[in-house]
Amino acid sequence: MAERTITLEVFRYRPDSEQEPTFQSYTVPYREDWVVLDALNYLKDETDGSLSFRWSCRMGVCGSCGMMVNGTPRLSCSAFLKEYYPGPVRVEPLANFPVERDLIVGIDDFMNKLKSVKPWIVRDKEQPVSEGEYRQSPAQLATFKQYSMCINCMLCYAACPVYGLQPDFVGPAAIALAHRYNLDSRDQGQSLRKEVVFSHEAVWECTFVGECSVVCPKDVDPAGAIQQEKALGALDLVKSVLMPWGSR
């Protein structure tokens, strides 16, 4: 019996030798248990060692292997070939990001936006280690746990039409991360994040399409986080008008 195969149409861009990107078709063995990342590794090992892409854990944890698979942002380590058989499967770099080489995109803008929301626990006064931990109940943890599951895969940015049109948009992952720390009972930095979270380029820019939550592999629901921050922002505005001495 002839071995089954599947065709991958892979985005290629080598800036050292090409001015424009192209697509190159490859035929790879089809295996029921193979994911797109397996097929790409087969290509790199057996067919074309110049093919460039990011990956690390192959377990849906590191978030580094995000790509567009048949037009949808996916982790290539969890996109099974059997979902696309008999093919072809078109593999492209994540949308809305500058392409550096082949399937590798630049992440500087994404990292800067994460940093802008101060994604760490902020305290008005640090407690010495000798005085113990900042204790937290299971209920307090449950309040923000969902929003702490983000693996920085950037799929939500690739799916976000606002980020595609307005690159200044802070974006779903960064706002969800800010929301995670704002909900943390140990954190006191909410007022420091307001300037970014409630800016025109953040929550108010979001049109609530919701695709960011649809493609999220960890069910973080960044769209929900943004809407919750919008509600907090509206409440904050009302308080600043009615109770200017007590607004947060």
User: Is CATH 1.10.1060.10 correct for 108-242?
Assistant: yes
The set of long-range contacts for 16-23, using a CB threshold of 8 Å and a minimum separation of 24, is 21/99, 23/90
Distance CA 185, CA 124 (A): 13
Tokens of 99: 């392409």
Chain-centroid distance, C-alpha 144 = 18
Rounded alpha-carbon distances, angstroms, from residue 78 to 21, 39, 75, 227: 26, 12, 6, 29
Q: Is the pLDDT of residue 240 over 90?
A: no
Q: Would you list the domain boundaries of the chain?
A: 5-105, 108-242
Locus of tokens 């969800």: 176
Distance CA 195, CA 209 (A): 24
Reported confidence tier of residue 245, pLDDT bands at 50, 70, 90: low
Name the E strands within 76-210.
89-92, 99-101, 104-105
Q: Does residue 81 contact residue 1 with C-beta atoms inside 8 Å?
A: no
**Span 111-143, pLDDT tens digits:** 999 999 999 999 999 888 899 889 999 999 999
Distance CA 141, CA 108 (A): 30
Distance CA 93, CA 71 (A): 10
**Span 180-193, pLDDT tens digits:** 999 999 999 999 99
Distance CA 193, CA 197 (A): 6
Q: Does residue 83 contact residue 34 with C-beta atoms inside 8 Å?
A: no
Identify which of 62, 48, 60, 155 has the alpha carbon closest to the alpha carbon of residue 102: 48
Mean pLDDT of 76-89: 97
Tokens of 161: 């039409």
Chain-centroid distance, C-alpha 191 = 25
> What pLDDT, on a 0 to 100 scale, did the predictor assign at position 2?
72
Backbone angles phi, psi at 105, to 5 degrees: -110, 160
Kindly give the residue spans of alpha helices, DSSP state H, lying in the chain: 36-42, 108-116, 138-144, 155-159, 161-165, 172-182, 190-197, 211-215, 222-242
Reported confidence tier of residue 241, pLDDT bands at 50, 70, 90: low
- CATH number, span 5-105: 3.10.20.30
Q: Is the pLDDT of residue 237 over 80?
A: no
Rounded alpha-carbon distances, angstroms, from residue 4 to 31, 48, 82, 91: 8, 20, 12, 20
